[in-house]
């Protein structure tokens, strides 16, 4: 079979599709094509289970014409929005679509009624291909690093060696998914090991500020200095990882790292918590349960709608520090 998997964005969501890719390839021997935005196509560039990556093009007609020549046996739509519907109609091939459960998410956000299934989004992604006889192999997520992007910690900084540092991922698209900087500083000052601060270009200012608060400790700010694969390489070689709900959190899960996952305005009940299908002892979720205002959004806000930011400010920071130090 020749199968086109569609997921336009973003880093974490694409990493979460990797069990579908692997299971289709290994269990069916399928030829796997993947369609995503150009800015995310490199995420799967080294994945051995993907035969060809197609990029979502501004020239829609040209892209559709090229995809038609592939004569796919099946389209697996793991994005399921108006654009992917338009694509499926244009290609006219058999298709299966992931169910996003947006109304149930709306109920949880707005009325605090939780009718969402107690299933990870990976398992719901896999539901789209069970009619082919595909089953979850329970191997978890994949992330493959191109050889030229695999970095040595000691080459980044001579004070680093594999597994002697903690990787701290400070980014998240929305502010209400990120710890206040002062709270993060308090946690990091309780840790004795070297700290590697990871983030993209949008985290450069925060990374610089955090590094200046290090005192005499070894805090190495790499925000905006590495590619996503280089950052993933340092995550893979870290002793532990602490992360907000963001792409590198899922990459850490792919490497089965000891992970502390910090949640604010969104909740794991949406189904996108770290995916460890066999042994969940490798990660912990840190959140404030029981807040009447949480979740306030399914994606997050630029600031707390209530002004108090209790979903982050009331976290058990001593417990988080202890888990990083054990």
Average pLDDT in the 31-60 region? Answer: 96
Q: Distance of alpha carbon 126 from its chain centroid, rounded? A: 17
CATH architecture of the domain formed by 2-132: 3-Layer(aba) Sandwich (3.40)
In this model, does residue 315 exceed pLDDT 90? yes
Residue 271's pLDDT is what?
96
Question: How far from chain centre, in Å, is Cα 85?
Answer: 24
| Sequence spans of domains, the chain | 2-132, 149-325
Instruction: Give the 3-state secondary structure of residue 132.
Output: helix
Q: Mean of the pLDDT values across residues 211-235?
A: 96
Count the neighbouring beta carbons within 10 Å of the beta carbon of residue 43: 28
CATH code for 149-325?
3.40.50.2000
pLDDT digits (tens, 9 = 90+) for 20-34: 999 999 999 999 999
The mean pLDDT of 76-93, rounded to a whole number, is: 97
CA atoms of 225 and 211, how far apart (whole Å): 14
How many whole angstroms separate alpha carbon 71 and alpha carbon 93? Answer: 8
Cα distance between residue 272 and residue 17, in whole Å: 12
Per-residue pLDDT band for 58 (boundaries 50, 70, 90) equals: confident
Which spans in the chain are helix H? 11-15, 18-28, 60-68, 82-91, 102-111, 121-126, 153-156, 181-189, 204-212, 228-236, 247-254, 310-313, 317-325
Tell me the average pLDDT of the chain: 96
CA-based radius of gyration for the chain:
20
Q: What is the pLDDT of residue 325?
A: 87
Rounded to whole angstroms, what are the CA distances from 80 to 50, 97, 134, 145, 202?
20, 6, 20, 28, 28
- Give the residue among 217, 228, 237, 232 at the shortest CA–CA distance from 153: 237
User: What pLDDT is recorded for position 57?
Assistant: 81
φ and ψ of 284, to 5 deg: -130, 145
Which residues, at least 6 apart from 322, have a Cβ–Cβ distance to it below 8 Å? none
* DSSP 8-class letter at 208: H
Kind of pairing between the strands at 52-56 and 74-77? unpaired
With H, G, I as helix, E, B as strand and everything else as coil, classify residue 37: strand
Mean pLDDT of 286-308: 96
213 pLDDT tier (thresholds 50, 70, 90): very high
pLDDT value at position 308? Answer: 97
Q: What angle do CA 7, 13, 18 make, to 5 degrees?
A: 80
242-291, pLDDT tens digit by residue?
A: 999 999 999 999 999 999 999 999 999 999 999 999 998 999 999 999 99
pLDDT band at 105 (very low <50, low <70, confident <90, very high): very high
Q: Is the peptide bond before 314 cis (omega within 30 degrees of 0)?
A: no
CB atoms within 10 A of CB 283: 21
Mean pLDDT of the 127-151 span: 98
């Amino acid at each position: 079979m020749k199968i086109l998997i569609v997921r336009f964005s973003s880093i974490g969501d694409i990493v979460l599709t990797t069990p579908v890719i692997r299971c289709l390839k290994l269990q069916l021997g399928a030829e796997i094509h993947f369609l995503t935005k150009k800015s995310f196509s490199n995420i799967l560039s080294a994945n051995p289970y993907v035969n060809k990556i197609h990029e979502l093009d501004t020239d829609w007609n040209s892209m559709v014409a090229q995809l038609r020549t592939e004569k796919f046996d099946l389209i697996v739509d793991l994005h399921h929005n108006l654009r992917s519907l338009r694509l499926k109609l244009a290609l006219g091939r058999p298709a299966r679509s992931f169910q996003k459960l947006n109304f149930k998410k709306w109920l949880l956000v707005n009325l605090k009624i939780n009718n969402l299934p107690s299933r990870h989004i990976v398992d719901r992604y896999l539901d789209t291909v069970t009619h082919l006889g595909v089953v979850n192999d329970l191997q978890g997520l994949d992330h493959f690093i191109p050889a030229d992007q695999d970095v040595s910690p000691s080459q980044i900084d001579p004070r680093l060696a594999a597994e002697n540092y903690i990787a701290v991922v400070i980014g998240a698209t929305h502010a209400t998914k990120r710890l206040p900087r002062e709270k993060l500083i308090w946690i990091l000052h309780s840790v004795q090991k070297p700290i590697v601060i990871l983030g993209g270009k949008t985290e450069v200012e925060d990374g610089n500020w955090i590094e200046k608060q290090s005192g005499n400790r070894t805090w190495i700010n790499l925000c905006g200095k590495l590619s996503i694969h280089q950052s993933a390489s340092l995550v893979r070689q870290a002793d532990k990882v602490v992360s907000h709900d963001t792409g590198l959190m899922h990459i850490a899960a792919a490497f089965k790292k000891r992970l502390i996952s910090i949640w604010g305005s969104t909740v794991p009940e949406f189904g996108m918590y770290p995916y460890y299908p066999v042994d969940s002892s490798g990660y912990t979720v840190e959140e404030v349960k029981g807040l009447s205002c949480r979740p306030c959004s399914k994606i997050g806000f630029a600031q707390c709608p209530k002004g108090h930011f209790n979903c982050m400010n009331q976290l058990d920071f001593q417990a988080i520090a202890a888990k990083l130090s054990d």
